């Protein structure tokens, strides 16, 4: 994973993202309710060209509703959405690509025909759509399947076809709902590389996921939502810096009494192989190391950046002080 991690850092320092270019998407104070159920409450976000924006949160947090509002499938009850600097209108549809959460393909259609159809709906000529579909299929290892019906493909392969359908027309904005679900590890890597490449070429990418580590590796900016509310949002690097290095992973053998030291340890999470300790505010890691090594044999002691998951859990439990960058 190390080389890919390095390549992720590249776009974040690239000029396109930090140049202050106009946002591809701007959502301001959007609300959406279905009857009594409030799906999205006062959500705002902006996505710059050349960046990958992650919309994170548990199931039912309002991620899909937000994505659907951005591409105009549903209309917000209040608030504004501008795309490419203008209020959303049907003519914009050719400029974005959408990957829905569940597979949305005609089962009886052949793969290549289906891609042709999706491409033509976005304004590509038949010949151009066919050419691009062939080259994408090659990239995703689907060349042998182009004449098969969609229903004959595995779920993961269908997901790849769906992805190709979303990017075939080279859209400026790519909106993906859970793009990695159902993919095997190899395909996940291919997809991730494609997304990074697209971002590097200046596309704005918005993806939703409930897999925190996926987002952590891929996204430049994130928005954490829970029960329709924004819990935390902004530049991922800044968020992490804001939370500080206050976690320690410890692998030990022996006396575990040091974990009960409330002056140093605010909480801990035992993962079996190791314990992850959240330090109390103002605690010194050196003191913890001394205390731990006094009673137990340590095989690992690592000061960690907080994981997104922990940040999320911390933010949800303390919503009052949650928006460092909002």
Partner 1 sequence: MRNFWVIVKREYLQRVRTRSFLILTLLVPGIMTVVMTLPAKLATMGKKAEHVVVVTSTPQFGEMVRQHFLSALTATDDDDESSPEANAAKPKPEDEYVIDVDSNATEAERAALRDKVTSQAIDGYLWLTDDAIASGKVTWTSRNMGGFGESSRLSAALNRVIQYERLSKNGLTTEKADELLKPVKVEAIRIERGREAKGSGGGKFLEVFIMVMLLYMAVLLYGISVMRSVLEEKTSRILEVLLSSATSTELMAGKLLGVGAVGLTQILVWVVIAGVFALPAMAMQPTLSEFQIPLGVLIAFAIFFLLGYLLYSTMYATIGAITTTEQEGQQLQFFIVIPLVLSVFMLAPVVRTPDAPAIVWLSMVPFFAPVLMYARIVVQTPPLWQIALSVVLLVGTIAGLLVLCARIYRVGILIYGKRPNLPEILKWLKYAKA
90 binds partner 1 (CB under 8 A): yes
Which stretch in 40-48, 69-77, 179-187, 287-295 sits in contact with partner 1 by CB under 8 A?
A: 69-77
Total residues at the site for partner 1 (CB under 8 A)? 33
139 in contact with partner 1 (CB under 8 A): no
Stretch that binds partner 1, among 98-106, 139-147, 266-274, 280-288 (CB under 8 A): 98-106
| 98 binds partner 1, rule: CB under 8 A | yes
* Residue-level length of the chain: 326
**Options 55, 71, 195, 206; binder of partner 1; rule CB under 8 A:** 71
Could you tell me the smallest distance in angstroms from the CB atom of residue 37 to partner 1?
11
Contact map string, positions 9 to 38, toward partner 1, x by CB under 8 A? -------------------------x----
Question: Which phi and psi angles does 97 have, rounded to 5°?
Answer: -120, 145
Among 21, 31, 121, 313, the residue binding partner 1 under the rule CB under 8 A is: 121
Q: How far is the CB of 97 from partner 1 (least distance, A)?
A: 8
Residue span binding partner 1 (CB under 8 A) among the ranges 73-81, 130-138, 229-237, 292-300: 73-81
Q: Does 165 bind partner 1 (CB under 8 A)?
A: yes
122 part of the interface to partner 1, by CB under 8 A:
yes
Which residues contact partner 1 by CB under 8 A?
Answer: 34, 68, 71-75, 90, 93-94, 96-98, 100-109, 117-118, 120-123, 162, 165-166, 175
């Amino acid at each position: 994973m190390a080389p890919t991690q390095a390549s992720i850092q590249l776009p974040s320092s690239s000029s396109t993202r930090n140049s202050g270019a106009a946002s591809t998407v701007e959502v301001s104070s959007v609300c959406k309710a279905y009857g009594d159920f409030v799906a999205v409450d006062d959500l705002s976000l902006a996505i710059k060209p050349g960046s990958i924006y992650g919309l994170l949160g548990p199931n039912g947090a309002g991620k899909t509703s937000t994505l659907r509002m951005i591409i105009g499938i549903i209309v917000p009850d209040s608030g504004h959405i501008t795309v490419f600097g203008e209020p959303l209108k049907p003519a914009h549809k050719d400029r974005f690509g959408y990957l829905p959460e569940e597979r949305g393909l005609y089962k009886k259609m052949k793969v290549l025909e289906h891609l042709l159809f999706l491409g033509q709906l976005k304004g590509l000529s038949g010949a151009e759509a066919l050419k691009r579909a062939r080259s994408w299929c090659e990239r995703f290892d689907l060349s042998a399947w182009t004449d098969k019906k969609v229903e004959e493909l595995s779920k993961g392969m269908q997901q790849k076809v769906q992805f190709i359908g979303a990017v075939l027309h080279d859209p400026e904005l790519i909106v993906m709902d859970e793009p990695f679900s159902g993919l095997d590890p190899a395909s996940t890597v291919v997809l991730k590389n494609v997304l990074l490449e697209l971002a590097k070429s200046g596309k704005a990418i918005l993806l939703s996921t409930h897999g925190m580590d996926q987002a952590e590796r891929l996204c430049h900016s994130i928005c954490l939502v829970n029960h329709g509310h924004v819990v935390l949002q902004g530049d991922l690097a800044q968020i992490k810096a804001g939370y500080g290095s206050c976690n320690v992973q410890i692998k030990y053998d022996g006396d575990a009494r040091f974990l009960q030291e409330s002056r140093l340890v605010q909480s801990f999470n035992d993962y079996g192989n190791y314990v992850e300790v959240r330090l109390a505010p103002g605690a010194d890691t050196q003191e913890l190391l001394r205390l731990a090594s006094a009673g137990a044999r340590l095989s690992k002691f690592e000061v960690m950046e907080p994981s997104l998951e922990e940040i999320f859990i911390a933010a949800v439990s303390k919503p009052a002080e949650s928006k460092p960058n909002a």
